[in-house]
Amino acid sequence: PMTLKRTIQDIEKSIGPGKVGINLDPANLIIYGKGNPVDALDVFGEHVRNIHGKDAVYSNDGYCRGWEVPMGQGKVNYPVFIRKLQEIGYNGDITIEREISGEEQKRDIRAAIELLRSLL
């Protein structure tokens, strides 16, 4: 998150403030071991323009990345994450993403909709 924030600041020195936004996939921060999504909002939250509704778990193997799981079953603390989004004034979309196919994907998306409804 801090590297991304620094990059945005550097770009905005050339083009002006408020012109760079982030499409935040909180699960990818976990999958790639880059940080906690809730804490990341403290660093670059004002730049978030879109959210991927997705969840993941960390790998316990230093040579492997984490992996996606159904929303609400991973390490993205969605109740706190949503509350933090509201605190920073985010009012954009949350696009549910589930990178599998078939009936399990459909079930997981329906469950994600219900989770988000309960938190919003």
Amino acid identity of residue 77, one-letter, is N
Pairing of strands 55-57, 67-69: antiparallel
User: Percent of the chain having pLDDT more than 70?
Assistant: 100
Q: What is the pLDDT of residue 79?
A: 98
In this prediction the pTM is: 0.90
**Element of type H or E holding 4:** helix 2-15
| Separation between Cα atoms, residue 27 and residue 74, nearest integer Å | 8
- Give CA angle at 87 (16, 37), nearest 5°: 80
3-state secondary structure of 24: strand
pLDDT tens-digit map of 46-84:
999 999 999 999 999 999 999 999 999 999 999 999 999
Count H helices and E strands in the chain, helices first. Answer: 5, 5
Tokens 């982030």 correspond to what residue? 22
**Distance (Å, rounded) from C-alpha 116 to C-alpha 101?**
21
Backbone Cα Rg of the chain = 15
What pLDDT sits at residue 2? 93
